Each structure stands twice: as structure tokens, then as C-alpha cells.
């Protein structure tokens, strides 16, 4: 009886561990050998960021090939490992990696769209029997003097436009996606710069899908709270706009210092209810079709 009981309880005891293993990072935490890898395995938030970065990497592989994607990933990995277990640094590096992968993927897609279309040769009519063909004169066979054949442009000239819009080197791409460090947190920081990734608001924002983040930013723009872009990126301008909303009577009902309160606040900011409420506050004309009588 004891052996039978153990045979039933052992799978039940192992089942939760198996479920947790499926929610880990893209690498096996049992093989974690650096302080950065150990820190990622120990922090569920970093695990989510690492998985999102890995998904962006897989998408990049499909767009530009495994060899080039691996070269970019190795360069970013060196920078990430230099964090030496600093969770804020790791979070920033993971976000930078995700942004670089996304940027390179979009650039590859744009270049592919500019490729010269394949010209399908027109179907030639079937040859007529010799008896049905009209006699060919020497004048008709000679090429007209008024139709000179233009010279073929060298290949370099034809590809010049593509070279001009080709993505820059990796260092430039990484620099364009760099998050602002804690030293750049002063008043002079650009609103388009990345915001610090160390608050419940930042975690709640990055938990949203990119399109949902962009929709939230568009709502903030329409409400007059955000002047920056609406691209789904965690910027200082976005943080400032959200903090401005939280100071309003409507926003004070959310406790953004907690994970659940921050998530609820962002859910409201990204909803149609917020857009409708701001429209009423700004004196927008009521929509007669929105009446409950219809």
C-alpha cells in the first residue's frame, strides 16, 4: 500500500515544478553559469523580459537569417553579461536587445519591399505557317534611326538608393535604442529617452502588447498629456504623462505604487472609457447615436 501511495504522490509532487520550468527563460536555469543568468532565473519580471527578447530574436532570424542574427545577439549578450547581476541593468539591456532586434527586423522588411519586382516575360504569339506570313522587306527589317537603345546603367548605380537607406552599423543601432541611465534622470533628459525601468508602472507598461502600449500613448496624446511619439516604447514623456493623469481626481483612485494598481491604471488609460471621459471633459459634443434609447 505504501508503494502504491508513493507512486501516486510522486507525479503530483513533480507536476508544479514541471509547470514552472515551462515558464522560465529561453535557456535552462540549471545551466546558468553567470551572475546575469542567475539573476534572470531568480526574477519573474526579468524572465518575462528575456522571453520577449527571445521572441524578437526568433523573428529576426526569420527575416535576416541565423548567422547575421546570431552576430547581433552575441554583441548584445556581451553588454548584458557586463551587468554582473544588477537587475536594473539587466532589465535595461534586455529592453535594448528587444528594441535592436525589432529595428533590424523592420529595416530588413522595408528593404525587401524595395527589391526590384520580377518582370514576367509576355507570352509570344504562336508562329504562323510560312505560307501565311507576309513577305519581309529590307526597310522593315532595319531598326528606326529615331529610336536609339539607351545604355544599361551599371549595377552600382541601380543599387545606390538601397545603400543609402540600408541600416547602419550595429553600434549605431544599439546607441539608438539605449535606455537612459540613472545619471540621465535630471530635468534636462529628453522626453523621448527611455524611462527608468524600476517601478510598478514600468513593469505594467511592458507587460502590455506593443500595439496596446501604442494605443495607450495615443489616448494620452489626444488627452493633451503626451507630446512624444506613440510607438509603444517606455519613454520619459510617457511616464510624465501617466504621472500627470495620476494627479487628477480621476487618477487618484488608482494606487500606482502597487503592481495591481499600476496595471489597473494603465488598463483604464488604454481603454475607450478614458478617451470618452476626456472627450466629455473637453466639452465634446455628445453623440446622439450613443444614446441608450437607440
Structure confidence at residue 114 (pLDDT): 58
> Rounded distance, CA 127 to CA 130, Å?
9
Would you state the cell numbers that stand for residue 153, as one nine-digit string?
546603367
Only one residue has cell 495591481, namely 260
Beta bridge partners of 194: 235
Stated length of the chain:
294
List residues bridging with 235 in a β-sheet.
Answer: 194
pTM summary value: 0.45
Q: State the average pLDDT over residues 147-168.
A: 41
| pLDDT, tens digit (0-9, with 9 covering 90-100), for 41-94 | 999 989 999 999 999 999 999 988 999 889 888 888 888 888 888 888 888 888
Extract long-range pairs of 128-136: CB within 8 Å, 24+ residues apart: none
**Using CA atoms, how far apart are residues 276 and 271, in angstroms rounded to an integer?**
9
Question: Beta-carbon neighbour count of residue 24 at 10 Å?
Answer: 16
Task: Give the residue ranges of DSSP H helices in the chain.
Answer: 2-22, 35-42, 44-64, 66-81, 87-113, 138-141, 155-158, 160-165, 170-177, 200-207, 210-222, 236-246, 259-269, 272-281
Chain centroid to CA 160: 28
CB 96 within 8 A of CB 178: yes
Domain definitions of the chain by residue range: 21-115+167-178, 184-285
| Ranges 132-136, 235-239, 240-244, 256-260: which has the least confidence | 132-136
**pLDDT value of position 208:** 84
- CA-to-CA dists, residue 215 to 92, 166, 272, angstroms: 23, 29, 10
Task: Round to whole Å and give the CA distance between 207 and 252.
Answer: 22
Q: Quick one: how far is CA 138 from the chain centroid?
A: 65
- Decide: 217 and 231 in contact? Cβ < 8 Å: yes
Judge contact between 97 and 53, C-beta under 8 A.
yes
pLDDT top residue among 120 and 237: 237
Amino acid at each position: 500500500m505504501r508503494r502504491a501511495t508513493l507512486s501516486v504522490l510522486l507525479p503530483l509532487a513533480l507536476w508544479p515544478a514541471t509547470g514552472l520550468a515551462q515558464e522560465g527563460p529561453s535557456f535552462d536555469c540549471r545551466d546558468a553559469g553567470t551572475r546575469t543568468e542567475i539573476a534572470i532565473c531568480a526574477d519573474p519580471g526579468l524572465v518575462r523580459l528575456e522571453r520577449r527578447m527571445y521572441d524578437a530574436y526568433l523573428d529576426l532570424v526569420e527575416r535576416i537569417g541565423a548567422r547575421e542574427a546570431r552576430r547581433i545577439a552575441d554583441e548584445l549578450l556581451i553588454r548584458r553579461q557586463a551587468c554582473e547581476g544588477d537587475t536594473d541593468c539587466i532589465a535595461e539591456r534586455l529592453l535594448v536587445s528587444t528594441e535592436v532586434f525589432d529595428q533590424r527586423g523592420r529595416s530588413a522588411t522595408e528593404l525587401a519591399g524595395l527589391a526590384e519586382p520580377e518582370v514576367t516575360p509576355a507570352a509570344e504569339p504562336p508562329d504562323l505557317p510560312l505560307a501565311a506570313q507576309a513577305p519581309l522587306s529590307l526597310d522593315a527589317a532595319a531598326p528606326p534611326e529615331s529610336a536609339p537603345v539607351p545604355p544599361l546603367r551599371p549595377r552600382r548605380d541601380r543599387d545606390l538608393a538601397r545603400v543609402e537607406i540600408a541600416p547602419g552599423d550595429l553600434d549605431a543601432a544599439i546607441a539608438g535604442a539605449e535606455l537612459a541611465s540613472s545619471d540621465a534622470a535630471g530635468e534636462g533628459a529628453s522626453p523621448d529617452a527611455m524611462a527608468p525601468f524600476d517601478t510598478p508602472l514600468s513593469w505594467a507598461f511592458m507587460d502590455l502588447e506593443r500595439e496596446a502600449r501604442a494605443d495607450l500613448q495615443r489616448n494620452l496624446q489626444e488627452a493633451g498629456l503626451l507630446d512624444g511619439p506613440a510607438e509603444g516604447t517606455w519613454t520619459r514623456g510617457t511616464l510624465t504623462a501617466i504621472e500627470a493623469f495620476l494627479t487628477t481626481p480621476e487618477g487618484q483612485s488608482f494606487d500606482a505604487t502597487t503592481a495591481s494598481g499600476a496595471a489597473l491604471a494603465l488598463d483604464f488609460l488604454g481603454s475607450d472609457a478614458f478617451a470618452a471621459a476626456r472627450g466629455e471633459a473637453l466639452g465634446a459634443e455628445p453623440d446622439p447615436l450613443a444614446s441608450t434609447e437607440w
